[in-house]
Amino acid sequence: MKLQASYLADFVSLLFPELCKACGESLVSGEDLLCIDCRYNLPFTNFHLKADNIVAQQFWGKINLEAAYAMCYFTKGGKMQHLMHQFKYRGIQNIGNLLGNIAGEQLIKNPVFSNADLIVPVPLHKSRLRKRGYNQSTNFAAGLSQKLNIPFNELNLVRIRATETQTHRSRFSRFENMQQVFTLTNPEVLINKHVILVDDVITTGSTLEACGAELLKVEGLKLSIATIAYAE
C-alpha cells in the first residue's frame, strides 16, 4: 500500500508539480517550498558578520541597538520579491517559518543574537490582521525562535492605530505616520531583557524605529533588530 501511495504521489506531482516559491521551477522529491539551488543561493547579505552593516547604520543616532540584521537583499524582480509576494499575499505562511529557520542558522553563530531573551514581531493592527488572517512577522519570529531556542511573544507589543500604506511616502512622512502607533500591554516583564524585534522587509526603517522607541522605554531593555530582507 505504501508503494502504491508513493507511485500515486509521483504521478500527481507529474501532472501538478509543486513549484519553487522563489524561482518558479518544479520541485523534486525532498524539496519543500524552495528548490535546493534557491535554498542555498538566495541573495544573502551576511550582515550577521558585519556589526556596522547598512541596516545598523540606518538607526545610528535614532535608537540604541545592540545589533541589526537583514538576511537577504530585496530587489525589484528578484527572487526575494517573488518569494515575499507568495508569503504575504498568497497565504503561504510556511515560507515565513522556513525563512526564520534559515535566518536562525546564521544568527546562532552571532553571540549578540543567540544570547537574547525574547523575540518580538512587529504587530499588525487588528483590522489588517483580520483581513489577512496572519501576521507575516509572527511566522518569521516562530521560525527564528525554533532555531535559536529563544521564546517569542506577539501579545505584548501591539499596534493601537491603523496607518495608511507606507509604500509611496517619503522618509519623513513615514516617520510622522508611525507616531503613537504602538504600545506595550505588559512592559514590566521586559525589564532588563534583551529583545530581538523582527519584521519582514526593511526599507526606511520607520516602523522598526517606532516599535524600538516604545520598547526602549522599558528600564534596562536592550534591543536588536532582525528582518528577512533589506530593500536596496
Give the start-to-end residue ranges of the domains of the chain. Answer: 1-41, 42-231
User: Do the bridges between strand 67-74 and strand 182-184 make them parallel or antiparallel, or are there none, so unpaired?
Assistant: unpaired
Q: Classify the C-alpha dihedral 131-134-138-139 as positive or negative.
A: negative
pLDDT-derived band at 10, boundaries 50, 70, 90: very low
- pLDDT surpasses 60 at 13: no
Q: Of 119 and 3, which is predicted with more confidence?
A: 119
Q: What is the mean pLDDT of residues 77-82?
A: 94
> By the 8 A CB rule, do 95 and 83 touch?
yes
Of the chain, the percentage scoring pLDDT greater than 90 comes to 77
On average, the pLDDT of the chain sits at 89
Q: Which residues pair with 182 in a beta bridge?
A: 159
Q: Which residue has the cell 529557520?
A: 101
Q: 106 pLDDT exceeds 90?
A: yes
Residue 165: pLDDT above 60? no
Mean pLDDT of the region 220-225: 98
**How far is residue 164's CA from residue 228's CA, in Å, rounded to a whole number?**
22
Q: Which three cell numbers stand for residue 207?
A: 516602523
Largest CA distance in the chain: 64
Tell me which CATH code domain 42-231 carries: 3.40.50.2020
- How many Å apart are CA 135 and CA 129, to the nearest integer? 6
Q: What is the Cα–Cα distance from 143 to 152, expressed in whole angstroms?
A: 10
The pLDDT of residue 144 is above 60: yes
Residue 65 has a pLDDT of 98
